[in-house]
Amino acid sequence: MTDQLTGVFNITPTPFHEDGQVDRHGVTRLTEFTRAAGVNGMTILGVLGEADKLTERERDEVMALTIEAAGADFPICVGTTHAGTDGCIALSRRAQEMGAAAVMVAAPKLARTNDSVLMRHYLAVAEAIDIPVVVQDFPPAVGGITMSVELIAGLGVATPRLAYLKLEDEPSPMKVSQVRAANPDITIFGGLGGMMFLEELRHGAAGTMTGFAFPEILVAIYRAWMSGDRDAATTIFYRYCPLIRFENQPRINLALRKHIYHRRGVLSSPRARAPFAAVDEGTLADLDDLLMRLDLQPGSRN
């Protein structure tokens, strides 16, 4: 299924009821909605999937429900980041057992960046499973730990299972070019809510792996780009860039994303698990104004 690891992979949140319990029907509904949007696959249990707030039983439940609703031909990538190598291996093996097409692993938090330690960590995980490992390069999520271009290129040389990168080290377009120059066999996904998606494609990214509550917009950009209609891709991106920017505001991006999914009728509740940064009524009013101006209110045509 490695040939399916390209294009738009939408990272989805975990649906909860108002009482904070996992919304089982919501997981299924969100998976069906995301697949119908035309994306190439889904990524679950990432940072904005609130994976660190789920119990082991709940993780298994979310994986099982998502993979069942997705179907055999719709790849699911599962976040299995863990502070320890052994823990990451255990989570990754469990994801493979349950039918994941790939796992996504961010760097463990270290006292300081150390390429040799990171190399050993990723190789141990890759050697323990038979599915691809999407290396997540996202320094803010791991205490500022950065991945050098040389390390990323070397991971892909060491094993083809590590030749997938979710690049979120800013400025991402420039690093896309650098990684491709160092190892053109690395499949690179952009991220960061899609804020630099157009530029990442220009620099050689194979797609994006990110959260966005209007995944069909990312699909339209990607399809136009891949068809060779760069002007159409650019026009679509520039039209919706204000929403991409607004939704990806630091600290409140999870809450905003859930509110949008709730407004679209996909989530029964915008509830996130504590602790989380809530949004105020003024911000939600800004959101409603933006959706109205982009003709993206429920029932509208875009």
Give per-residue pLDDT as tens, 125-181. Answer: 999 999 999 999 999 888 888 999 999 999 999 999 999 999 999 999 999 999 999
Residue 271 maps to a domain? yes
Chain centroid to CA 66: 15
Residue 299 maps to a domain? no
Taking the C-alpha atoms of residue 111 and residue 291, their distance in angstroms, rounded to an integer, is 43
Taking the C-alpha atoms of residue 37 and residue 136, their distance in angstroms, rounded to an integer, is 24
Residue 120 maps to a domain? yes
Residue 63 maps to a domain? yes
Residue 300 maps to a domain? no
Instruction: State the residue for tokens 């209007």.
Output: 214
Give per-residue pLDDT as tens, 166-199. Answer: 999 999 999 999 999 999 999 999 999 999 999 9
Identify the pLDDT of residue 2.
Answer: 59
Number of folded domains in the chain? 1
Residue ranges of the chain whose pLDDT lies below 70? 1-3, 299-302
Task: Provide the residue range defining the domain that includes 72.
Answer: 2-293
Residue 301 maps to a domain? no
Residue 154 maps to a domain? yes
Chain centroid to CA 276: 19
Number of H helices, E strands in the chain: 11, 8
Residue 298 maps to a domain? no
Q: Which CATH number covers residue 178?
A: 3.20.20.70
